Amino acid sequence: MMNALRTGAWMVLAGAAAAGLGGCAAFSWFVAQFAPPQEVKAQFKLPKDKKVLVFVDDMLHEVNYAPIKGDLTEKLNSQLAEHKIAANTIPYEQVQDLAASGDFNRLAVKEVGEKLGADVVIYVDIERFSLKENEASPLWRGELACSVRVVDVKVGRLWPTDREKHPVPALETPPTENASKTYGAALSRLLAEKLADRIAKLFYDHKVPVQSFDQEK
């Protein structure tokens, strides 16, 4: 049985090579098709059984579409709950209430967390965000990039320890023409969902297809 499987796999490889793939390209294709998923270790494991605040900020790079902050907070809160990274999370509405109370921008990250009853803050700093290159055009092209750091409200920054913040690979969507007035909101939610997945994966072990392994190491 094993010999038959091995023979079949090599026949597929030979067929791919015969179809025009070079030797190296054919081998890479073969590995991508038959290699098991690769495990990617968490960059940092959050302390267990803690209440976590996701604090999405744009102080240094003000966004032109404020709902992205709520979208990203909600999507990341969902990821933290789904993968049991946090015992509890704080709804975005509570962040909004605190922001409306005055002097919010003067508070340190750990002070924001403390006032909202969090043990740990995942601070998400938006560095680039756009939905369109030209507001007058019906052509949409989403972009979202951020960096993160983890702060304990009592002791200060937990991670990263070797730099101020950890960059997250940026997201870009292909240009899409759409005249709908609601498309921008849908695109914002899509960007938030995809980036929240990338951020959450920093904090738990996961597996990826072998062709994606180099991108996540």
pLDDT at 5 over 50: no
**Which segment of 19-33, 91-105, 187-201 scores lowest on mean pLDDT?**
19-33
pTM of the predicted structure, to 2 decimals = 0.80
Amino acid 215: pLDDT: 47
**Token reading at 63:** 């966004």
pLDDT single digits (tens) 113-124 = 999 999 999 999
Amino acid 131: pLDDT: 95
User: Which of 13-17, 51-55, 129-133 ranks highest by mean pLDDT?
Assistant: 51-55
pLDDT single digits (tens) 147-188 = 999 999 999 999 999 999 999 999 999 999 998 989 999 999
Strands 120-130 and 51-57, by their bridges, are parallel
Mean pLDDT of the chain: 86
Residue range 51-216 in CATH 3.40.50 = yes
What DSSP letter does each residue of 70-128 carry, written as one string?
HHHHHHHHHHHHHTT--SEE--HHHHHHHHTTS-GGGS-HHHHHHHTT-SEEEEEEEEE
CA pair distance 63, 59, nearest whole angstrom: 9
Residue in this structure with the two tokens 């003067």, named with its chain if needed? 106
Reported confidence tier of residue 7, pLDDT bands at 50, 70, 90: very low
pLDDT at 2 over 50: no
pLDDT single digits (tens) 32-68 = 566 677 888 999 999 999 999 999 999 889 999 999 9
Amino acid 217: pLDDT: 45
CA pair distance 131, 183, nearest whole angstrom: 10
Task: Tell the burial category of 81 from Cβ atoms under 10 Å away from its Cβ (0-12, 13-18, 19+).
Answer: middle
Over residues 78-85, the mean pLDDT reads: 96
The share of the chain scoring above pLDDT 90, in percent, equals 68
Reported confidence tier of residue 210, pLDDT bands at 50, 70, 90: low
For the chain, which residues make up each domain, given as ranges? 2-34, 51-216
Answer yes or no: are the C-beta atoms of 142 and 187 closer than 8 Å: yes
pLDDT at 14 over 60: no
